[in-house]
Amino acid sequence: MNIASWLEQSARSYPALSAAATGTRVVATYGQLAERAARLAGALREQFGLKPGERVAIVAKNSHHYVELLYGIWHAGLAAVPANAKLHGAELGYILDHSGARVCFVSPGIDSVIAPHAPHSLERLIAIGGAEYQALFTADAIAVVPRAADDLAWLFYTSGTTGRPKGAMLTHRVLAAASQAYAMEVDSVSPGDAILHAAPMSHGSGLYIMAHVARLGVQVVPESGGFEPEEVFALIDAWPRASMFAAPTMIKRLVSCPAECDLANIRTLIWGGAPMYLEDALAALDRFGPRLAQIYGQGESPMTITTLSKEDIADRGHPRWRERLGSAGKPYASVEVVVADSADRPLAAGETGEILCHGEVVMPGYWCNEEASRTALRGGWLHTGDVGVFDQEGYLHLKDRSKDLIISGGSNIYPREVEEVLLSHAQVREVSVIGRPDREWGEAVVAYVVGEAKAAELDALCLARIARFKRPKDYVFVDSLPKNNYGKILKTELRAMDARKTGTP
């Protein structure tokens, strides 16, 4: 099976339906999109001589072209390597070299970022939308190149909060399984429904393209090519039945944006990719009503490990509604998820350990990295590196990445628990809790805070809500926290900053 066939099928049955839009302007029908993909595939095969299985990179900001590029690449039997356009040239050079891509499509302007770092294997750097790009669509269309379900479709480079990024191999089977899981458990899609791509299409948002192609939805890319809260509200007004994937920080910005929209137009706002603190989830629910869903996943099991449904989030009458809201939901029907001890033995509900998962949606391994693949997939289970605990009703509560766990005086302290408490102070905007090496305690709890709250107030809040040993020993007030391009707080960087500040090794 080639996932490109979903577009062919949609175009054959409803060629005149809208397939892609920039802002409020429809730029392609299904018939036009399928034809462009088939012609691009022809150019990639015939003009560039690329053979099935070869990789083609996309280093682009969000634009409607993303959709035709992905489908053109798959139609030709090739694998796409979407990379974050905000990465440094050297990081992009590494991904291009490691993936062995001979062709790379780039947003205008990014070519000059890549050029000094381009590996020898890269033959062509093509500016999206330029004359060379447009000429590709005059090539003769070809038929979809057959692929096996286990052939590579998307090489997903992890966001690399530490070390070199690794390329999670997402096959046609993985993409199909993730899309089906989405349509079955997160958000039903009907013809004409919109998906707003305000989050990076190289990452989470892009993984929702396929379900919407199969179900004849419209891919709507903001004019700005990114996330501007006012524009998102305007697009929701323009597109009845719109859904959007957003990182928690984006949801937070939407909540605090004074602009309004017709909330009835929102199908689902899906958050995930990083922790959403309870206070923020409550505020989002107050603002948007029963239209929020949560997903927990990672590049290695794309967007699909557990999900907290719209119904669970909105079920205020349930006796354990708040606890559920603070969880990451239940495993998708297609994924087996366990919490295991350090010897990979499954633990009972209530016991904390590493989250492992397995199923059709899990990658078969990392590209050209057997050692990392063996480690991540030992025993046939993906080791997520996330720590969590199932409650009695099967909801997974995420703690922290195992490397972020603080061990102080022999006790385990999960930073998130302390962060939740600190964030409940009205004058704390952002917070991140880390461990600082300490002679006496092994590690001492330190809170980095953005906001006007006083240390003494925060200390009192902790005393009232959590065990004494979990209280931060030091509060550091800063203007901002180090984040990666997806808005995730970089604890590794924060620990390094802290070490420089205190002179600890």
**Contacting positions for ligand AMP (CB under 6 A):** 158-159, 272-275, 294, 296-299, 328, 384, 386, 398, 401
Nearest to ligand AMP of 42, 388 (CB atom): 388
Cα gap 215→237, rounded to integer Å: 22
* CB 168 to ligand AMP: min, Å: 8
Residue with tokens 């997806």: 486
- How far lies 50's CA from each of 31, 72, 85, 170, in Å? 25, 12, 24, 20
Nearer to ligand AMP, 10 or 159 (CB): 159
CA–CA–CA angle 82, 197, 39 (5° rounding): 55
- Return the closest-CA partner of residue 416 out of 278, 312, 294, 298: 278
Nearer to ligand AMP, 75 or 98 (CB): 98
Q: In whole angstroms, what is the distance from residue 214 CA to residue 20 CA?
A: 13
| Nearest approach, Cβ of residue 302 and ligand AMP (Å) | 8
Least distance (Å) from ligand AMP to the CB of residue 292? 12
Q: Which is nearer to ligand AMP, 277 or 441 (CB)?
A: 277
308/428 with CB nearer ligand AMP: 308
Q: How far is the CB of 276 from ligand AMP (least distance, A)?
A: 6
- Tell me whether residue 38 or residue 210 sits nearer to ligand AMP (CB atom): 210
Angle at 249 between CA 269 and CA 176, to 5 degrees: 45
**81: which strand partners?**
57
Number of H helices and E strands in the chain, helices first, is: 17, 24
How far, in whole angstroms, is CA 84 from its chain's centroid? 11
Q: Rounded to the nearest whole angstrom, what is the least distance from the CB of residue 305 to ligand AMP in the complex?
A: 8
Task: Give the full edge-to-edge strand order of the sheet including 266-272.
Answer: 25-29, 18-22, 218-221, 194-196, 242-246, 266-272, 292-298, 301-308, 330-331
Report, in Å, the least distance between residue 408 CB and ligand AMP: 22
Q: How far is the CB of 62 from ligand AMP (least distance, A)?
A: 17
Q: Which is nearer to ligand AMP, 8 or 354 (CB)?
A: 354
**In the complex with ligand AMP, which residue's Cβ is closer, 159 or 219?**
159
Amino acid 176 reads A
Min dist. Cβ of residue 400 to ligand AMP (A): 8
- Residue 379 CB coordination number (10 Å): 9
